[in-house]
């Protein structure tokens, strides 16, 4: 089952449940105030089934706009969880190569802060490339949607936009390489009621188009993530409280070739089987 936040033609933000490929149920009309409320439910799938059985109003998907599927959750990101990410980063920086090598196999994963909810771009919105960086890439990632107890309530798509030259120059610059205007996009759906084993069969693919021509395409499997999802979530929640829940990106396994950098106007399309497609246009920030 898939839930979302969406904006109506009248400009109201509402919570939706996918009815079929073209229609959503309006859960706001059933008294669901926010997506975070749903994610706290003990048996979310049963609750959604009960809601779907009621004659709720619907909206055609073609008449609404997706919002980012977060309202108050902080967004965090795990890194170097795929072998591909480790080797790409070791090549990008002699200076930090040992750190990437070590964290890949260390007990404690790399986890960093990525975004406040209100700064996240929705599908159809912008993703940024820094004007003081010369090597910018998208990072297509599976995102865990966690409730306030740290339990995985669902899964969405994340784009962890990154400036590789800034990151490669010195690891202490990581927050600047990772956190800036429009550096994070999420959505469109949160898929619920699936197990980690099922999700590990999903594929993550990315296509970047420039003036309507493909300039990069790549693909990986969620099965390539080295760590268990619960392990990543439990480290995020160690000595931390997230009263509204949190989103945790799980790292990238697709890295464009070293000569590739994003340009303003490029369209980044990330698809995860089981969730949908997150599409954003690159803007210079
Ligand atoms: O340590 C750098 C960031 C790693 C990252 O974002 C990833 O592997 O996806
Ligand atoms: Mg990343």
Q: Is residue 109 in contact with ligand 1, taking CB distance under 6 Å?
A: no
CA 59 – CA 280 distance, rounded (Å): 23
For the stretch 60-80, what's the b/e string if a residue is b when 16 or more beta carbons lie within 10 angstroms of its beta carbon? ebeebbbbbbbbebbbbbbbb
Q: Is residue 160 in contact with ligand 1, taking CB distance under 6 Å?
A: yes
CA 140 – CA 244 distance, rounded (Å): 24
Ligand 1 centroid – CA 85 distance (Å): 7
How does pLDDT run along the chain (285 residues), one tens digit per residue? 999 999 999 999 999 999 999 999 999 999 999 999 999 998 999 999 999 999 899 999 999 999 999 999 999 999 999 998 899 989 887 778 899 999 999 999 999 999 999 999 999 999 999 999 999 999 999 999 999 999 999 999 999 999 999 999 999 999 999 999 999 999 999 999 999 999 999 999 999 999 999 999 999 999 999 999 999 999 999 999 999 999 999 999 999 999 999 999 999 999 999 999 999 999 999
In this predicted structure, what is the pLDDT of residue 93? 79
Distances (CA, A) of 115 to 1, 185, 216: 26, 9, 26
Beta-carbon count within 10 A of 176 CB: 16
Give the model confidence (pLDDT) of 91-102 as tens digits. 887 778 899 999
Atom of ligand 1 nearest to the CA of 80: 8
- Name the residue with the closest Cα to ligand 1, atom 6: 79
Query: Model-level pTM greater than 0.95?
Result: yes
- Name the residue with the closest Cα to ligand 1, atom 9: 251
The one-character DSSP state at 149 is T
Q: Is residue 77 in contact with ligand 1, taking CB distance under 6 Å?
A: yes
Q: Is residue 92 in contact with ligand 1, taking CB distance under 6 Å?
A: no
Nearest to 183, CA basis, from 122, 140, 252, 120: 120
Which ligand neighbours the alpha carbon of 82 most closely?
1
Beta-carbon count within 10 A of 211 CB: 9
Ligand 1 centroid – CA 79 distance (Å): 4
Ligand 2 centroid – CA 252 distance (Å): 5
In this predicted structure, what is the pLDDT of residue 225? 98
Helix (H, G, I), strand (E, B) or coil at 172: helix
The one-character DSSP state at 30 is G
């Amino acid at each position: 089952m898939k839930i979302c936040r969406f904006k109506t033609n009248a400009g109201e933000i509402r919570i939706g449940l996918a009815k079929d490929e073209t229609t959503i149920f309006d859960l706001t009309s059933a008294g669901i105030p926010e997506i975070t409320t749903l994610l706290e439910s003990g048996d979310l799938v049963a609750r959604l089934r009960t809601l779907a059985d009621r004659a709720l109003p619907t909206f055609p998907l073609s008449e609404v706009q997706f919002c980012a599927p977060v309202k108050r959750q902080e967004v965090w990101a795990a890194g170097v969880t795929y072998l591909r990410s480790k080797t790409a980063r070791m090549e990008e920086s002699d200076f930090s190569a040992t750190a990437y090598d070590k964290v890949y196999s260390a007990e404690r994963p790399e986890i960093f802060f990525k975004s406040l909810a209100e700064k996240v771009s929705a599908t159809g919105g912008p993703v940024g490339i820094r004007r003081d960086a010369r090597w910018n890439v998208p990072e297509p990632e599976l995102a865990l949607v966690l409730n306030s107890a740290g339990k995985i309530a669902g899964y969405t798509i994340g784009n962890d936009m990154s400036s590789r030259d800034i990151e490669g120059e010195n690891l202490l610059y990581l927050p600047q390489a990772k956190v800036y205007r429009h550096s994070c996009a999420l959505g469109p759906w949160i898929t619920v009621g699936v197990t980690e084993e099922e999700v590990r069969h999903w594929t993550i693919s990315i296509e970047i188009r420039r003036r309507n021509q493909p300039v990069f395409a790549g693909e990986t499997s969620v099965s390539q993530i080295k760590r268990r999802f619960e392990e990543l979530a439990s480290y995020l929640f160690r000595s931390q409280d997230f009263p509204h829940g949190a989103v945790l990106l799980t790292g990238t396994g697709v890295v464009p070739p070293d000569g590739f950098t994003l340009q303003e106007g490029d369209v980044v399309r990330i698809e995860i089987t089981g969730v949908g497609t997150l599409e954003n246009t690159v803007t210079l920030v």
